[in-house]
Amino acid sequence: MGLTRRGFIATVLAGWGSAFLQACGYDNELSAEVDEAPNGWRPAYEKLEEAGEFADRVEEALSRLENCQLCPHRCGADRRAGQMGFCRATARATVHSHQAHFGEELPLVGRNGSGTIFFSHCNLRCVFCQNWPIAHEGRGREVSDERLADMMLDMQRRGCHNVNLVTPTHMMPNIVSATRIALRKGLRIPLCYNTGGYELVENIELLDGIVDIYLPDLKFMDGDQAERYAFTHAGDYPERAREAIAEMHRQVGELQTDGDGIALRGLMVRHLVMPNRVSGTREFVRWVAENLTPSTYVNIMSQYRVEHRAFEHPEIARAITPQEFLEAMQWAEEAGLTNLDSRSVSQRDLFRRRLGRG
């Protein structure tokens, strides 16, 4: 999430590179081996397979396509029979691109990048979406679960530190199925579930023992704002997102990294600061401190910009000011949050110097 114009160009170039490798016959022939993980760490999904539970979990996930309840819209579409869900997805995953991405949080990026797979369509479709050609228009192509598994393995072959599943909610059954296929072909890097947060807790429960790293947004703390700025009128967004994030925290706990600071397991929460306090940042940081832990990894993001249909809404039709971002970071500090994203802290320090505040 957070694909910039520069990132979009990089996505296209990476896609050309991937196509070139496939044309040369390298896509499935290269070894999918990964270096031995530190301290005996192994991905959760490997342990689930050894326990003999992964196959049943795949079957259960795929069955949820028949009367789709994969997000709070509960549209009931029989996607296996060819019906299109509220999100506009069918029974096969639609993928826009997969690439090594260097714009994510540093524990995900490391030296070799985060292995992002951008899924098309979305169950929120925010009016300010920066990835609207992918999320709103559904640009991409349908792929089989086997092909999705190959993309995961491709990320590992390129040296990426994780498989980063971007906007995965409505594709969850395909992801679970593809992960088991990829595991049996040698996948051994962490699985990162990079979600907008509009989830049903029972679907997050199904992912227990499969996902290593959760990377949710908590976009809004006020249902009226979510209703106003999501095309899908998701007025229950704050409640559903908080429930889901609490379950994610129960499963994986706080962020764990290797000796190089690379994420292996845990929860990382994102929150985008918006103009005029629309996103409810003060309430967000208090909720994290009181309901998760003060040392939860939190990324308070400053990169809001007027995209897609945001210009139609005067309250959010401008970038945030340095003062608004400094206010947000001050609230985080007052709430006692101690594990703020390093680039957010650097941005705070830069704004302080520019404004002569130290």
Q: Is 306 left (phi over 0), alpha (psi -120 to 50) or beta?
A: beta
Q: How many CB atoms lie within 10 A of CB 55?
A: 11
Q: Tens digits of per-residue pLDDT, 36-93? A: 455 689 999 999 999 999 999 999 999 999 999 999 989 899 999 999 888 888 999 9
- pLDDT interval class at 293 (50, 70, 90): very high
Cα(303)–Cα(232) distance, integer angstroms? 23
Asked if 220 and 229 touch (Cβ cutoff 8 Å), the reply is: yes
Average pLDDT estimate for 298-316: 89
Average pLDDT estimate for 14-35: 39
SS3 of 85, please?
coil
Q: What is the pLDDT of residue 231?
A: 66
Q: What are phi and psi of 162, to 5 degrees?
A: -165, 165
End-to-end distance of the chain based on CA atoms, in angstroms?
A: 32
Cα(48)–Cα(210) distance, integer angstroms? 7
Asked if 91 and 79 touch (Cβ cutoff 8 Å), the reply is: yes
Both structure tokens of 321: 């000011």
Report domain extents, the chain.
44-354
Q: Which of 20, 277, 69 is nearest to 172 (CA)?
A: 69
Average pLDDT estimate for 309-337: 94
> Bigger pLDDT: 356 or 267?
267
User: Taking the model in full, what pTM does it have?
Assistant: 0.88
Residue 37 gets which letter from DSSP? P
The pLDDT of residue 6 is above 70 = no
Q: Strands 213-216 and 256-257, how do they pair?
A: unpaired
Cα(31)–Cα(12) distance, integer angstroms? 25
Tell me whether residue 81 is exposed, middle or buried, using C-beta atoms within 10 angstroms of its C-beta: 0 to 12, 13 to 18, 19 or more.
exposed
> Bigger pLDDT: 89 or 243?
243
- pLDDT interval class at 132 (50, 70, 90): low
Tokens 């049903």 locate to: 200
The pLDDT of residue 311 is above 80 = yes
Q: What are phi and psi of 26, to 5 degrees?
A: -90, -15
- pLDDT interval class at 123 (50, 70, 90): confident
Q: What is the pLDDT of residue 342?
A: 96
Q: Tens digits of per-residue pLDDT, 134-189? A: 776 668 899 999 999 999 999 999 999 999 999 999 999 999 999 999 999 999 99
Assigned superfamily of 44-354: Aldolase class I (3.20.20.70)
The pLDDT of residue 253 is above 90 = yes
Q: Strands 163-166 and 191-195, how do they pair?
A: parallel
